[in-house]
Each structure stands twice: as structure tokens, then as C-alpha cells.
């Protein structure tokens, strides 16, 4: 199950009517939206959405039947247990700069409208404040940094300095490869905000 499917399932399971609907599905050989809605005194659209999404999640099967000339669906359980397993590693983004992003040369962008705040120990950046817009439309965005990100940005070359690769800056900051994903993430974000330029 991917994250989107899990989110859909969880949103339904959290509804106060979910347990009652599943109880009907366990009890009945098959049931229609209108039968379930009338049995639980729910709006038919609510029940239809629930049953259809459970069908799309492969929890239910449905069969098209006819009453006179009008077709409708009857639903029944396909499984007796719902097990949710999400591979969180699948959420890890590929290197958003490039597959060889560690070799990108970067530095702070001139006149970026940003404030780097150092920690009390003065050996890493604790947060970054970015301003955008002008006058009354000026907005402030504060990004709190992890300590590895803060150490990395502490060694980010100034706008007037020669750019360095992400790999070189990580080495100066004493960071190992385990921190690469979060470093790449903050670099990508700050490139988008116009704080860092990659050359």
C-alpha cells in the first residue's frame, strides 16, 4: 500500500460510521449502497463513496446486478483482515538537484533577502529567515534547521567567495554520508527560495 492509499483508508477508518459499515459487510453476503445507507440512516452518497473507495483499495469486490432495467452494484468483502504496510523509504526523494548533486557547486546568493541566525555556541546556523514580496505584502518564512543542516550552512560560501561543491562543504562541516538526504533537501529548498545559487 502506498502513502496515498493509506491516507484514503485512514480517512475512512477515522469516520464514526466506518465500524458500522464494516460490520454490515461482515454480516451480509453482499449489500448495496442504498441498503447500507437505509440500515445505518446515512446519506447514500456517503455510503457510495465509502464502498467505492474500499473497492478501489481492493478491500471489497463488487458485482453489477439489475433491478428491472436499472443496474446497480452490490459489494462484499474480499478480505477478512486489513493490514496496512507502508514502505517509508519510498518517500525518500531522489536527489532533486541531480543524481550527482554532491558535485554541484553552490554558494549564498547575493541580495537574497535572508537572515542566517547562528546558534549560541556559534558553530552552526539554527534557523534561516527568508523575506519575500514588498511593502505590506512582504512575507517572512522561518525554517528551523537540523544540526547537520545548520553545520552545513555555517560553511556555505558567501556570495563573494568561490563556490564549492556540496561534498566539499559537508567535509568542512564534518558531516558523513548518512546526512546526505537532509542536506540535499535543504539545499534544494534554499535554491527554490533564491537563497542559494548553484553554478
Claim to verify: residue 194 and residue 107 sit in the same structural domain = yes
Q: What is the DSSP annotation of the chain?
A: --HHHHHHHHHHHTSTTHHHHHHHHHHSS-EEHHHHHHHHT--HHHHHHHHHHHHHTTSEEEEEEEETTEEEEEEEES-S-------GGGGSPP-SS-TTGGG-EEEEPTT--EEEEE-TTSSSEEEEEEEES-GGG-EEEEEE--HHHHHHHHTPPPTTSPPEEHHHHHHHTT--GGGHHHHHHHHHHHHHTTSEEE-
Averaged pLDDT for residues 118-143: 87
* Prediction pTM value: 0.62
Claim to verify: residue 100 and residue 141 sit in the same structural domain = yes
Q: Which range has the worst mean pLDDT, 17-21, 76-80, 85-89?
A: 85-89
Q: Is the pLDDT of residue 68 over 90?
A: no
Any domain includes 86: no
Q: Is the pLDDT of residue 100 over 90?
A: no
Claim to verify: residue 105 and residue 138 sit in the same structural domain = yes
Claim to verify: residue 181 and residue 99 sit in the same structural domain = yes
Tell me what pLDDT residue 139 has.
Answer: 84
Claim to verify: residue 115 and residue 181 sit in the same structural domain = yes
Any domain includes 82: no
Query: In total, how many domains does the chain have?
Result: 2
Any domain includes 84: no
Claim to verify: residue 61 and residue 111 sit in the same structural domain = no
CA 139-141-142 angle, 5° bins: 145
Query: In which domain, by residue range, is 161 found?
Result: 93-198
Any domain includes 7: yes
Give me the chain's average pLDDT, please.
Answer: 89
Tell me what pLDDT residue 94 has.
Answer: 59
Percent of the chain exceeding pLDDT 90 equals 63
Residue where one domain finishes, among candidates 77, 106, 129 = 77
Any domain includes 83: no
Claim to verify: residue 65 and residue 116 sit in the same structural domain = no
Any domain includes 53: yes
Residue where one domain finishes, among candidates 77, 104, 123 = 77
User: CATH number of the domain that 145 lies in?
Assistant: 3.90.930
Amino acid at each position: 500500500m502506498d502513502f496515498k492509499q493509506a491516507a484514503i483508508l485512514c480517512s475512512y477508518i477515522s469516520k464514526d460510521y466506518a465500524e458500522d459499515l464494516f460490520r454490515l459487510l461482515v454480516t451480509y453476503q453482499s449489500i448495496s449502497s442504498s441498503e447500507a445507507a437505509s440500515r445505518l440512516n446515512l446519506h447514500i452518497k456517503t455510503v457510495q463513496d465509502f464502498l467505492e473507495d474500499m473497492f478501489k483499495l481492493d478491500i471489497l469486490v463488487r458485482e453489477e446486478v439489475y433491478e428491472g432495467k436499472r443496474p446497480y452494484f452490490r459489494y462484499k468483502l474480499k478480505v477478512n483482515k486489513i493490514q496496512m504496510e507502508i514502505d517509508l523509504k519510498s518517500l525518500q526523494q531522489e536527489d532533486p538537484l541531480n543524481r550527482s548533486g554532491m558535485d554541484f557547486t553552490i554558494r549564498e546568493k547575493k541580495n537574497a533577502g535572508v537572515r542566517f541566525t547562528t546558534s549560541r555556541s556559534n558553530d552552526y546556523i539554527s534557523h534561516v529567515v527568508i523575506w519575500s514580496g514588498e511593502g505590506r505584502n512582504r512575507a517572512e518564512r522561518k525554517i528551523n534547521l537540523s544540526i547537520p543542516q545548520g553545520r552545513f550552512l555555517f560553511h556555505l560560501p558567501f556570495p563573494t567567495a568561490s563556490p564549492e561543491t556540496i561534498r566539499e562543504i559537508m567535509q568542512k562541516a564534518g558531516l558523513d554520508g548518512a546526512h546526505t538526504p537532509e542536506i540535499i533537501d535543504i539545499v534544494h529548498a534554499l535554491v527554490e527560495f533564491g537563497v542559494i545559487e548553484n553554478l
